[in-house]
């Protein structure tokens, strides 16, 4: 019998072991993290600013050296085979890195040259990629005149010029408007589907991680606090939450509700019932039904699905809203960090 | 898609080096304003300062036994001070041009371009050498403009001058530019602040200029200044340029000039490249 191994070690395109970065011998930006990413996966790195996401990605793309520990990308050691690793991966950095004085075409051809791609190949490939990101009409315009979304798309095209097997995206939608963000998500999904590419992205938009990623790691204070599929992470919180109120001066119905299918926990607080259920859509109508049979009237019922925001709260002790900042302050912070890191 | 050549990748180190050099040069010649300003500046230096400092005129010609041209010749090696200074400017213009290399390294870091380049397989050495090379090509171009303007304003060539002198001048100016561009790059490798290269430029330029033979012959300087000027690679370049163009007393120390500037270029470039390995990858 032929055995097909789909989960062999070869399928782990990124393997990180004990990766650590200490700046100035005092600031531990990344603290002994371990994880692996499988071929074809979209892996999301989530966390507040300064959690160590960008430092991690910069070590993986071999731009900064780890203090200790290491990682292998496509079998290449990030510390010893930096050049080979860089040749095999694609990078879309957080900032806009294109040269503003050059045209879109000149920029993408420059990227091709930096990867050592011969001209007869790179010309066609550049045109293909510009078409992919819908910049064909603007190819001879200087990047200076581009909008944020156009620049982001150009960065994406540049990151794909060497047909990478693994693509790193550092905050790919930072500072973009909603439409452009959704468009960027669609590109990312398309890359996975069409090219079977493995994508590693950092973000601090929870809905982005939820919509895109196969697996998520939440990072805080340089450590990975939790790792798993978005669904798993939400389930780990104990399921859906139903809040319910009934007409006043009626008997306690805690016991009654507890017996209903999928219900895991019932709490009565200030006249409102909070019910945890592993399947809220099924439980909610059953509760209404049961109460009606019992002669009680439901005045209000709300069903809340746990979001990554709750997961995030649970593991970092902060709401994402508290840490979300404007693009400007993020960049300023990054420059400040950069100075601190020297 | 053509899969036969898909994976073909040029491993040549020159591929990335040339691409980056070309990028720098494009940014220069595609900006007509910067380009023209770069040409106008040396013209102003020569036409205004070079012609204003008419040192020959301060030697009285009516005192018996005093020959104006003999004094000028023994002091400056030529009877025409304008020619003396113009050839100094041919060499010195490289300082102004190469000082911008440090500025462009800082710009690339601030604008994120450096991050992009660092994440590609191109070698760190190429990244730095491209800066140095592009800057040196610009410096040679500037020097050529200064030389042309000097000819137009009445340069008096010496008997040493021959058609191939021009190539000698380009060669030594190129060596000096490589050294200076590496120096300015090395000094700004670690910083992301714009003030840094500007401060360095202001700190270094004037001492380099006055502690060299650009305006005044070294052997007439006070001895402490002579000591500084005689290790200044710009002095050696200026001496070589003058020897090739306006002097008439043979080539004597020319090989020494080339050797000194050549060693300066190689050593500073090597230091700069080694520092880039350390500081570009943190």
**Highest mean pLDDT of the ranges A146-150, A317-321, B238-242:** B238-242
Residue B4: pLDDT band with limits 50, 70, 90: very low
- Asked, for residue A312, whether it belongs to a domain, the answer is no
Mean pLDDT confidence for B205-229? 83
Mean pLDDT confidence for B86-109? 86
Size of interface A-B (CB pairs under 8 A): 101
CA-based torsion, A253, A254, A258, A262: positive or negative: positive
Residues of chain B with Cβ-Cβ distance to A93 below 8 Å are 112, 115-116, 119
Residue A249: pLDDT band with limits 50, 70, 90: low
Q: Is there a contact between A95 and B121 if contact means CB atoms under 8 Å apart?
A: no
- Asked, for residue A119, whether it belongs to a domain, the answer is yes
Q: Is the pLDDT of residue B3 over 90?
A: no
CA angle B150, B151, B152 (to 5 degrees): 90
**Highest mean pLDDT of the ranges A189-193, B11-15, B132-136:** B132-136
Residues A35 and A142 in one domain: yes
- Of A138-142, A309-313, B220-224, the poorest mean pLDDT is in A309-313
Reduce the DSSP state of residue B188 to 3 states and report it: helix
pTM for this entry: 0.79
Residues A82 and A185 in one domain: yes
Q: Is there a contact between B120 and A114 if contact means CB atoms under 8 Å apart?
A: yes
- C-alpha B166 chain-centroid distance: 15
Q: CB of B170 within 8 A of CB of B139?
A: no
Residues A164 and A286 in one domain: no
List pLDDT tens digits, range A264-319.
Answer: 888 887 778 888 888 888 888 888 888 888 888 888 888 888 777 778 777 777 65
Residues A255 and A112 in one domain: no
CB-based contact (8 Å) between A114 and chain B?
yes
Residues A222 and A276 in one domain: no
Closest partner CB to B19 (pick from A96, A100, A114): A114
Residues A121 and A102 in one domain: yes
Q: Is the pLDDT of residue B209 over 90?
A: no
To the nearest whole angstrom, how far is the Cα of B39 from the nearest Cα of chain A? 21
Residues A119 and A263 in one domain: no
Q: Is there a contact between A111 and B31 if contact means CB atoms under 8 Å apart?
A: no
In this prediction, residue A41 carries a pLDDT of: 92
Residues of chain B with Cβ-Cβ distance to A65 below 8 Å are 281-282
CB-based contact (8 Å) between A113 and chain B?
yes
- Asked, for residue A310, whether it belongs to a domain, the answer is no
Chosen for mutation from B109, B121, B196 (greatest number of chain A CBs closer than 10 Å) is B121
Q: How many domains does chain A have?
A: 2
- Asked, for residue A223, whether it belongs to a domain, the answer is yes
How buried is residue A291: exposed, middle or buried, by Cβ count under 10 Å (0-12/13-18/19+)? buried
Q: Is the pLDDT of residue A325 over 70?
A: no
Residues A14 and A94 in one domain: yes
Q: Is there a contact between A121 and B19 if contact means CB atoms under 8 Å apart?
A: no
Measured between CA atoms, the residue of chain B closest to residue A87 is B121
Q: Is the pLDDT of residue B7 over 80?
A: no
Closest partner CB to B23 (pick from A93, A110, A124): A110
CA distance A55 to A36: 17
Closest partner CB to A93 (pick from B9, B19, B116): B116
- What burial letters (b/e) apply to A116-128, b meaning 16+ CB within 10 Å? bbeeebbeebbee
In this prediction, residue A137 carries a pLDDT of: 94
Q: Is the pLDDT of residue A177 over 60?
A: yes
Residues of chain B with Cβ-Cβ distance to A117 below 8 Å are 8-10
Q: Is there a contact between B115 and A63 if contact means CB atoms under 8 Å apart?
A: yes
- Asked, for residue A3, whether it belongs to a domain, the answer is no
Chosen for mutation from A111, A116, A157, A159 (greatest number of chain B CBs closer than 10 Å) is A116
Q: Is the pLDDT of residue A338 over 90?
A: no
To the nearest whole angstrom, how far is the Cα of A124 from the nearest Cα of chain B? 9
- Of A85-99, A104-118, A187-201, A264-278, the poorest mean pLDDT is in A264-278
Q: Is there a contact between A116 and B11 if contact means CB atoms under 8 Å apart?
A: yes
In this prediction, residue A168 carries a pLDDT of: 93
- Asked, for residue A291, whether it belongs to a domain, the answer is yes
In this prediction, residue B5 carries a pLDDT of: 41
CATH number at residue A54: 3.40.50.300
Q: Which domain holds residue A130?
A: 10-234+318-341
Q: CB of B279 within 8 A of CB of B190?
A: yes
In this prediction, residue A7 carries a pLDDT of: 45
Mean pLDDT confidence for B181-190? 89
Backbone phi, psi, residue A227, to 5°: -145, 135
Residue A331: pLDDT band with limits 50, 70, 90: low
Within 10 A of A302 (CB to CB), how many other CB atoms are there? 12
For A94-230, list the strands marked E by DSSP: 166-170, 198-203, 215-220, 223-228
User: Which residue is associated with the tokens 């500072």?
Assistant: A175
Reduce the DSSP state of residue B246 to 3 states and report it: coil
Residues A128 and A99 in one domain: yes
- Asked, for residue A77, whether it belongs to a domain, the answer is yes
Reduce the DSSP state of residue A280 to 3 states and report it: helix
CA distance B39 to A40: 55
- Asked, for residue A5, whether it belongs to a domain, the answer is no
Q: Which residues contact B161 (CB under 8 A, 6 or more apart)?
A: B244, B245, B246
How buried is residue A298: exposed, middle or buried, by Cβ count under 10 Å (0-12/13-18/19+)? middle
Residues A185 and A289 in one domain: no
Measured between CA atoms, the residue of chain B closest to residue A88 is B121
Residues of chain B with Cβ-Cβ distance to A141 below 8 Å are none
To the nearest whole angstrom, how far is the Cα of A246 from the nearest Cα of chain B? 59
Q: Is the pLDDT of residue A163 over 70?
A: yes
To the nearest whole angstrom, how far is the Cα of B23 from the nearest Cα of chain A? 8
Q: CB of A205 within 8 A of CB of A45?
A: no
To the nearest whole angstrom, how far is the Cα of A113 from the nearest Cα of chain B? 6
Q: Which residues contact A49 (CB under 8 A, 6 or more apart)?
A: A204, A323, A325, A330, A333
Closest partner CB to A110 (pick from B8, B19, B115): B19
Residues A132 and A256 in one domain: no
Residues A41 and A69 in one domain: yes
């Amino acid at each position: 019998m032929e055995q097909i191994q789909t989960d062999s070690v070869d399928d782990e395109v990124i393997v990180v072991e004990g990766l650590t970065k200490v700046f100035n011998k005092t600031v531990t930006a990344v603290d002994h993290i371990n994880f692996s990413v499988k071929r074809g996966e979209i892996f999301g790195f989530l966390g507040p600013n300064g959690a160590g996401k960008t430092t991690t990605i910069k070590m993986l793309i071999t731009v900064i050296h780890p203090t200790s520990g290491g990682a292998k990308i496509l079998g290449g050691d990030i510390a010893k085979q930096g050049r080979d690793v860089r040749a095999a991966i694609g990078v879309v950095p957080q900032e806009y890195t294109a040269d503003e004085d050059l045209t879109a075409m000149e920029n993408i051809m420059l990227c091709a040259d930096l990867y050592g791609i011969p001209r007869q190949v790179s010309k066609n490939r550049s045109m293909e990629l510009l078409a992919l990101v819908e910049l064909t009409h603007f190819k001879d315009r200087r990047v200076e005149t581009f909008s944020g979304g156009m620049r982001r798309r150009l960065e994406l095209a540049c990151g794909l010029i060497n047909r990478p097997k693994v693509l790193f995206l550092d905050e790919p939608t930072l500072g973009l408007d909603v439409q452009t963000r959704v468009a960027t998500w669609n590109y990312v999904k398309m890359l996975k589907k069409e090219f079977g590419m493995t994508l590693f992205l950092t973000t601090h938009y929870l809905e982005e991680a939820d919509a895109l990623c196969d697996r998520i790691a939440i990072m805080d204070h340089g450590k990975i606090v939790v790792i798993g599929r978005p669904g798993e992470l939400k389930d780990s919180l104990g399921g859906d939450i139903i809040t319910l109120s009934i007409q006043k001066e009626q008997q306690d119905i805690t016991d009654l509700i507890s017996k209903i299918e999928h219900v895991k926990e019932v709490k009565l607080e200030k006249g409102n019932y909070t019910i945890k259920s592993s399947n809220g859509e099924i439980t909610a109508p059953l509760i209404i039904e049961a109460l009606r049979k019992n002669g009680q009237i439901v005045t209000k019922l709300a069903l809340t699905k746990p979001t990554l925001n709750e997961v995030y709260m649970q593991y970092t002790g902060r709401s994402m809203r508290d840490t979300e900042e404007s693009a400007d302050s993020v960049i300023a912070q990054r420059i400040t960090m950069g100075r601190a890191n020297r | 898609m053509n899969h036969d050549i898909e994976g073909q990748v040029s491993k040549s180190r020159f591929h990335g080096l040339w691409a980056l050099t070309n990028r720098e040069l494009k940014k220069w010649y595609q900006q007509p304003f910067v380009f023209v300003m770069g040409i106008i500046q040396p013209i102003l230096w020569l036409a205004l300062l070079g012609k204003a400092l008419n040192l020959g005129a301060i030697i009285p010609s009516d005192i018996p036994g005093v020959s104006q041209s003999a004094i000028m010749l023994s002091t400056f090696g030529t009877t025409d001070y304008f020619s003396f200074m113009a050839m100094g400017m041919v060499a010195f213009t490289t300082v102004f041009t190469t000082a911008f290399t440090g500025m462009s390294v800082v710009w690339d870091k601030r604008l994120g371009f450096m991050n992009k380049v660092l994440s590609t397989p191109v070698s760190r050495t190429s990244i730095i050498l491209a800066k140095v090379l592009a800057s040196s090509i610009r410096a040679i171009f500037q020097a050529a403009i200064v030389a042309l303007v000097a000819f137009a304003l009445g340069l008096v060539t010496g008997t040493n001058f021959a058609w191939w002198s021009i190539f000698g001048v380009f060669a030594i100016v190129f060596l000096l530019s490589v050294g200076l561009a590496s120096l300015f790059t090395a000094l700004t490798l670690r910083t992301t602040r714009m003030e840094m290269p500007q401060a360095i430029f202001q700190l270094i330029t004037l001492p380099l200029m006055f502690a060299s033979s650009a305006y005044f012959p070294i052997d007439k300087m006070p001895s402490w200044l002579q000591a500084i000027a005689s290790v200044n690679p710009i002095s050696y370049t200026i001496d070589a340029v003058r020897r090739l163009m306006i002097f008439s007393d043979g080539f004597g120390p020319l090989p020494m000039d080339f050797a000194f500037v050549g060693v300066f270029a190689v050593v500073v470039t090597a230091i700069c490249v080694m520092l880039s390995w350390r500081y570009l990858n943190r």
